[in-house]
Amino acid sequence: MNKLVMGIAGALLLLGAQAHALRIAYVDIAKVFDRYEGTQKAKEELKGKAESEKGKLEKDQDKLKKKLDDLQAKKKALTEENYAKQEKAVMKEIQDLQGRIQSVQGDLVGQEKQLTGQILEEIREVVKKVADKEKYDYVLELNALLYGGTEITATVIRELNEKK
């Protein structure tokens, strides 16, 4: 019985000592994401692609609008059947353009998700590196922590920006 009590008491002391020895840090991931130079570069790259695609699509849209306006201007000179045939062809082109617009939007969203995933992975790697270097047992996201810990957000941002 004495050995059992001593064993339990020893285990409790050991657990208590370990709980006090834990080093906990936290990171504001949103702040890191926003202040990381790689994020800004990715946003600019994606914005450039979006503007380029938008320009191309707007040119095509303007051409189709002109084509439809020209067709409507010639409506009285064409037979009903010929007008309907040409109008149907223009409407098909408009539908194709709308499909291309949706496809481009989907591609841009997919690229944004991929870039975001890559950036978050880079952030995780640097958080792990900082935690190992500064000997933290746990690193939590700011929103997951109610009290305590040491903020390492600035260190993570600095390490990320120096990495590139």
For the chain, give the percent of residues with pLDDT over 70.
87
- Going from N- to C-terminal start, the domains of the chain cover 23-163
What are 32-78's pLDDT values in tens digits?
Answer: 999 999 999 999 999 999 999 999 999 999 998 998 888 888 888 88
Average pLDDT over residues 118-146: 92
Q: Which fold has domain 23-163?
A: Protein Binding, DinI Protein; Chain A (3.30.910)
Q: What is the mean pLDDT of the chain?
A: 85
Query: Residue 147 CB: number of other CB atoms within 10 A?
Result: 4
- Higher per-residue confidence, 14 vs 129: 129
pTM equals 0.70
DSSP code, position 145: -
The stretch 134-156 carries a mean pLDDT of 90
Which tokens hold the place of 148?
A: 């305590």
